[in-house]
Chain A
């Protein structure tokens, strides 16, 4: 069986669907559009599953496939496909979540006028994301990296008539751009240094010791800056919560499961580069750990259902980075996978909550939904249990792996940070859960269509059972590092770590139950006890305000200065020229008054001047 064609079968259907929808956006009915979208991603899913099976069966990585795209200064620049286990895993995750979100969107977006446009963006995104995860070289990665960025921009700003959505889209684009510049510089420097964009060439150069350790650290950190922008790590996390202005399926697909995980994927994909530099590993671990706890604390005080989930995403991505920085390659990738499932589930469930409550997003106005919609409650609960790390749900296993690898790596400080973040995660997720579902409210609810419930059920099953691919057999680990890096084998498990993790999570849940489930402790009293802290958390540590006053305002001031310079100096000069010409013309026209005598006078005077100046020229010249 020729695998080359197989990969194209995964990649091309969404692209074709995109082209079809763009071409036929005026004639396609909503039913046809969603059918095309679901069908194309369905085909992608089927073929990526086939690839997965053959990758699992072969036991070694599938052969790469490349062709020369163009030749630059005698150096071939290639396009192609690589199918390491990591790539195949990402293919499956992306196509699966995308497939489910396509189904879900047909219910969620059914009343939107620009339904076809929405689906075409989704299809383009799916294509780009699939292309990103199979790219064997940095240039190709960068191209798809930017494509997903564009799709994110388009979809966040999908409701562009809302000023917040417009601002959020711009912010998402600009902030990730800052990170992308880091990645771009890294790619350019790597090409200048080793003359190739290929990842395996870079790997070869590192293994052959051609690069100095300072160089490796620089490359690694620059690539990590790209990942920071995309994966919403501190300090470039601010765009991700704002990106929740986009439609909820978009939040689930792009800003929870796939695109924001692209940063983690990038680091995992170039993991040998980071491993060659302990400084870079430290940077990842600390940035990740800090982001995990930082975003988790913000999540406690937010009131918008989607923003809480967004901060939770930032926090979980921080977790993944923390794992990668602690040589927990498998743990990081494992958490990426489980997170894709349970966070997509949570977002889709949040979307269902929003739909059933007639587009209410403020959790302070919610409550009592459990009685109205038990099914949705169970689905949401599974997502919450999974992210909180309660066995046997998948989040428990992956979080346990992360904590284990952090501990085994000797980063005890970060281990404590991770445990606290796990506590906070459990707390704010169940705060959300109790706020929405518990309580004596009798909300008026709308029906949630089956097209939305179905995908959630699939994701709930996956969230519940996905953990067992790594426990108790270490199946995922064995597969992920086939033929690869032996150094990536995870540490032996330590019995007290999972116990500690579960206890901490249960503590978080019970605290949330006491405060929000049965209202035994009034949360407002807590907030009033430490008003400054509460305010600080509500305002997200004033990071946005800080950026506003430190970066945006000076830039605006500078722009204002330039504008003043332009308007009054540059424009002034231009207008002066015009003014002078005009005055000369005016004077000329007053001379031309039709009086022959005046003309004669002028002629005489000019003649005298001419003669005098000629004489003067004779005398002095």
Chain B
């Protein structure tokens, strides 16, 4: 197995995540999509740590940090979402437009 397959997988995963972030109307789905994008990055980190030009364990360590932070981010994100849901009574992302200039 060479690095290309891992990178391709990561790229596909990232693109799916990006597509989800941009198109999904449900805010929960958007959060999920963000998780997908984060995990695509994690795959990249691990792949480079194993098959990169300078293989090093620090890549895997980095991905562990990233997963931990992603968990925290998801918790915060869902907390905000719940607060928003309580305020607005909806989880549709395109109804959240209070940033409108």
**Genuine A/B complex:** yes
Q: Which residues of chain A come closer than 8 Å to B93, judged between CB atoms?
A: 595-597
Within 8 A of A (CB), among B68-101: 93-94, 96-101
Q: Which residues of chain B come closer than 8 Å to A601, judged between CB atoms?
A: 22
CB of B28 within 8 Å of the partner chain: no
Most B Cβ at <10 Å: residue of A592, A594, A597, A600: A597
CB of A589 within 8 Å of the partner chain: yes
CB of A546 within 8 Å of the partner chain: no
Asked if residues A589 and B101 are in contact (CB atoms below 8 Å), the reply is yes
Q: Which residues of chain B come closer than 8 Å to A594, judged between CB atoms?
A: 96-101
Q: How far does the alpha carbon of A352 sit from the alpha carbon of B49 in the complex, in Å? A: 119
Q: How far does the alpha carbon of A597 sit from the alpha carbon of B98 in the complex, in Å? A: 13
CB of B21 within 8 Å of the partner chain: yes
Chain A residues touching B, range: 10 to 19
Q: How far does the alpha carbon of A595 sit from the alpha carbon of B96 in the complex, in Å? A: 7
CB of B18 within 8 Å of the partner chain: yes
Q: Which residues of chain A come closer than 8 Å to B100, judged between CB atoms?
A: 592-594
Q: Which residues of chain A come closer than 8 Å to B23, judged between CB atoms?
A: 597
Q: Which residues of chain A come closer than 8 Å to B21, judged between CB atoms?
A: 597, 600
CB of A604 within 8 Å of the partner chain: yes
Asked if residues A595 and B94 are in contact (CB atoms below 8 Å), the reply is yes
A539: shortest Cβ distance to chain B, in Å?
A: 71
Asked if residues A600 and B22 are in contact (CB atoms below 8 Å), the reply is yes
User: At the interface, is chain A mostly helix, strand, loop or mixed?
Assistant: helix
Q: How far does the alpha carbon of A589 sit from the alpha carbon of B96 in the complex, in Å? A: 17
Contact of B22 among A589, A592, A597 (CB under 8 A): A597
Q: How far does the alpha carbon of A592 sit from the alpha carbon of B23 in the complex, in Å? A: 17
Within 8 A of B (CB), among A576-596: 589, 592-596
Q: Which residues of chain B come closer than 8 Å to A595, judged between CB atoms?
A: 93-94, 96-97
Q: How far does the alpha carbon of A596 sit from the alpha carbon of B99 in the complex, in Å? A: 8
Q: How far does the alpha carbon of A595 sit from the alpha carbon of B22 in the complex, in Å? A: 10
Most B Cβ at <10 Å: residue of A592, A594, A601: A594
Q: Which residues of chain A come closer than 8 Å to B18, judged between CB atoms?
A: 604
A600: shortest Cβ distance to chain B, in Å?
A: 6
Q: How far does the alpha carbon of A244 sit from the alpha carbon of B30 in the complex, in Å? A: 91
A186: shortest Cβ distance to chain B, in Å?
A: 70
Known: A594-B98, A595-B93, A595-B96. 14 other contacts (CB 8 A): A592-B101, A594-B96, A594-B97, A594-B100, A595-B97, A596-B96, A596-B99, A597-B21, A597-B22, A597-B23, A597-B93, A597-B94, A601-B22, A604-B22
Instruction: Please list the residues of chain B having a beta carbon within 8 angstroms of any beta carbon in chain A.
Output: 18, 21-23, 30, 93-94, 96-101
Q: Give the 5 A-B residue pairs with the shortest CB-CB distance, closest first.
A: A594-B100, A594-B97, A594-B99, A592-B101, A601-B22
Query: What would be 18 A-B contacts, judged by CB atoms less than 8 Å apart?
Result: A589-B101, A592-B100, A592-B101, A594-B97, A594-B99, A594-B101, A595-B93, A595-B96, A595-B97, A596-B93, A597-B21, A597-B23, A597-B30, A597-B94, A600-B21, A600-B22, A604-B18, A604-B22
